[in-house]
Structure 1
Amino acid sequence: MKTHRYISSIGVKHHLAIKNVQASDNGRFTVQAMNAAGIKQSTCMLIVAPAPTPIPGAKSVANSPAPPQTPIGPSAPIFLKDLKNSPLKPGSQIILEARVVGHPEPHVEWFKNGSSINNYRVKTEYDTRTGICALIIPQMFADDIGEYTCRANNAHGVAESSAKVCISLIN
């Protein structure tokens, strides 16, 4: 069976490249260097996340950037993709979307103008495999104007991303 993992060296720099990464490539990778002074090693964790399931009528997230290297071990949440301000379009759907990572996996909460969102019209989603979290308002009304915040927390810290839904001055 032909491998899709390649090790290359240029001078003192060495690289592991994985072409056409697959879920079977998930795992811990360790590099070790040894000389007369001793042994040093570095380890990283590769997590291959499946493509997110599309939401009917929503814009595609397929072009979202891949998350940067995630440290091994405990880490506070960090937003890799922040929420973006959106214009109010009465009667239309809006999706506010962000991407967050942390270890252990963060707990995600949504707020509007500083208060927890408890509204049957609003749906929230959080895909723990990809870190994508979304707030979906299927049909917008004037009272949806405000500042929305996604808060992620775990034992190591808290991170927030906020965006405003406001009246658009440009039609």
Structure 2
Amino acid sequence: MEGSPVTLEVEVTGFPEPTLTWYKKGQKLSTDGHLQVLHKDTRHSVFIPKVCKADEGLYVAQAQNPSGTLSSNVILHVTGNCRPPITRINWITLCVVYVSMSLMYWLLTQ
């Protein structure tokens, strides 16, 4: 669901130890302000603290060593509509419009 945390995880073993690369829609992923690419022992993961519609798509974990290459795929679907809450400035604007309309009504009916 939009706004929820998401973790995509794979466990990779082999000899020699394989290197693992994550891809989203064919583009290599790396840690940035929106997501984290993590690796601990044999576990590799992508962590998204607050998933959004832009995160939807095909994710590929590709492991490679001199013996070959293997990959695992998953398609992430994001549901829900996480709209930002009405801010204080919007409430103030709404109140000003309401007062203005009420004043105009009162003046026209006098």
TM-score range normalised by the length of the shorter chain: 0.5 to 0.7
Query: Which of the pair has the greater relative contact order for Cα pairs under 8 Å at 6+ separation?
Result: 2
Q: Is the 8 A contact 1:108 1:126 kept in 2?
A: no
Q: CA RMSD in A?
A: 1.7
Percent identical among aligned pairs is 27
Between Structure 1 and Structure 2, the one with more strand by share is 1
Give the unaligned 5+ runs of structure 1.
1-88
Of 58, 65, 77, the residue aligned with 1:154 is 65
State the distance in 2 between where 1:103 and 1:158 align.
Answer: 12
Of 39, 43, 46, the residue aligned with 1:126 is 39
Q: How does 1:34-53 map to 2 (within 5 A)?
A: none
State the distance in 2 between where 1:90 and 1:168 align.
Answer: 6
TM-superposed CA distance for 1:139, in Å, is: 0.8
Q: Is the 8 A contact 1:112 1:147 kept in 2?
A: yes
Give the total of aligned pairs.
79
Please, what TM-score do these two structures have when normalized by structure 1? Answer: 0.43
TM-superposed CA distance for 1:141, in Å, is: 1.0
TM-superposed CA distance for 1:119, in Å, is: 5.4
Please, what TM-score do these two structures have when normalized by structure 2? Answer: 0.66
Give the unaligned 5+ runs of structure 2.
81-110
Query: Taking structure 1 as reference, are residues 118 and 98 closer, same or farther at Cα in structure 2, changes over 3 Å only?
Result: closer
Moved over 2 A (4+): none
State the distance in 2 between where 1:119 and 1:161 align.
Answer: 20
Between Structure 1 and Structure 2, the one with more helix by share is 2
Which residue of structure 2 lines up, in the alignment, with residue 163 of structure 1?
Answer: 74
Corresponding letter in the other structure for 1:101: T
